Amino acid sequence: MQRSIRFLSILSISILSILFFNAEYISVKEIDKNTADTYNIKALKIPSNLTFSGEKVPTNRDDVKERMDRELLVNTYWQSNGLLLIKRAHKYFPVIEPLLEKYGIPNDFKYLAVAESGLQNNTSSAGASGFWQFLKSSAREYGLEVNSNVDERYNLEKATKVAADYLKKSKDRFGSWTLAAAAYNAGNSRIAKNLQKQQVDNYYDLLLNTETSRYIFRIVALKEVLSNPKKYGFEFQDEDLYRLAKTKVVTVDTVITNIASFAKGFNINYKELKLYNPWLRENKLNNKSRKLYEIKIPIK
């Protein structure tokens, strides 16, 4: 009896050892197969016809080609981020595009908003906020209301108009949309000083800080990938894309003492109202000056 038990124990251990070895062997082979056979990281061909706002990117120059290659690779192989940007662009570009056209700004500047914020109401470490990433001082200078109660940097329509005003002034100053975009990142004075110091007249001949040196190339890469997602390996169905719900506008020129209660009056909740009006920063609207505000109400 004891011999039988001992034999069965040895047999069980042997079987388990064989299974474990085979499982480990199969697992290693499967990993090798998955990485080598189903995932290929390919070098990209740099398109020769890349432009930004009608201005050609000189990819025939070696330094320009290398910098463009870097941004295309980053935005192609950071797949999760790329797919999220494609989905958000489908949601927000229909809002941004007609505003850029209305204010006389080339359509390509919608990709500047992507580069700035990823089409999210982010706040940077420097305190820049909203889709267009304005600092408080710049926003106030261009007429946006910014305080603890109302922050219009988070109002996409108003912030887009301010971005357009800034870009038009930069274009008038430098004579180039590419330099205007660079100035959006580095500031007009810094671009002007560098142009004078280095005795050049265009972005591609300037030696700038790392962020601004990458800035235009990143925007152009985002334009290329988001305009041709299938070409760069992004697969999705129309139903996978994000959409902005329909809304109606309610005008208010009085104090709102409780926004949660105000939202209930339209059969929505506090969260829903704030999602469509992120510029409302508290659970009240002070409005001592009796200013006219437009509040979006989602239509269910």
Kindly tell me if the per-residue pLDDT of 56 is higher than 80.
Answer: yes
Is residue 92 very low, low, confident or very high in pLDDT (cuts 50, 70, 90)? very high
The answer on 74 and 199 residing in a single domain is: yes
CATH number assigned to the domain comprising residue 147 = 1.10.530.10
**Cβ 295 vs Cβ 250: under 8 Å:** yes
* pTM assigned to the model: 0.87
In 3-state terms, what secondary structure has residue 24? helix
Residue 236 is predicted with a pLDDT of: 97
Domain boundary among 240, 257, 278: 240
The answer on 277 and 149 residing in a single domain is: no
Residue 200 main-chain phi, psi, to 5 deg: -130, 175
18 belongs to a structural domain: no
Domain boundary among 219, 240, 261: 240
The answer on 229 and 150 residing in a single domain is: yes
Structure tokens at 132: 């267009």
The answer on 108 and 255 residing in a single domain is: no
Query: Which residue, among 207, 219, 218, 104, has the nearest Cα to 163 in the 3D structure?
Result: 104
CA quadruple 68, 93, 149, 141: dihedral, nearest 10: 60
40 belongs to a structural domain: no
If 0-12 CB within 10 Å is exposed, 13-18 middle and 19+ buried, where does residue 37 land? exposed
The answer on 184 and 102 residing in a single domain is: yes
Is residue 90 very low, low, confident or very high in pLDDT (cuts 50, 70, 90)? very high
Q: Tell me the pLDDT tens digit for each residue of 157-185.
A: 999 999 999 999 999 999 999 999 999 99
Of 11-20, 45-54, 164-173, 262-271, least confident by mean pLDDT is: 11-20
66 belongs to a structural domain: yes
The answer on 199 and 60 residing in a single domain is: yes
- Compute the average pLDDT of residues 263-288: 97
User: Can you tell me the distance from the alpha carbon of 117 to that of 127, in angstroms, rounded to the nearest whole number?
Assistant: 13
Domain boundary among 190, 210, 240: 240
Q: What is the mean pLDDT of the chain?
A: 91
User: Can you tell me the distance from the alpha carbon of 53 to that of 141, in angstroms, rounded to the nearest whole number?
Assistant: 26
The answer on 191 and 106 residing in a single domain is: yes
Q: Tell me the pLDDT tens digit for each residue of 14-47.
A: 544 544 445 444 444 555 555 556 678 899 999 9
24 belongs to a structural domain: no
- Compute the average pLDDT of residues 124-132: 96
> In total, how many domains does the chain have?
2
User: Can you tell me the distance from the alpha carbon of 214 to that of 210, in angstroms, rounded to the nearest whole number?
Assistant: 6
**Cβ 156 vs Cβ 122: under 8 Å:** no
Note down the domain range covering 160. Answer: 51-240
- Compute the average pLDDT of residues 50-58: 98
Q: Where are the beta strands (DSSP E) in the chain?
A: 51-52, 55-56, 247-252, 293-298
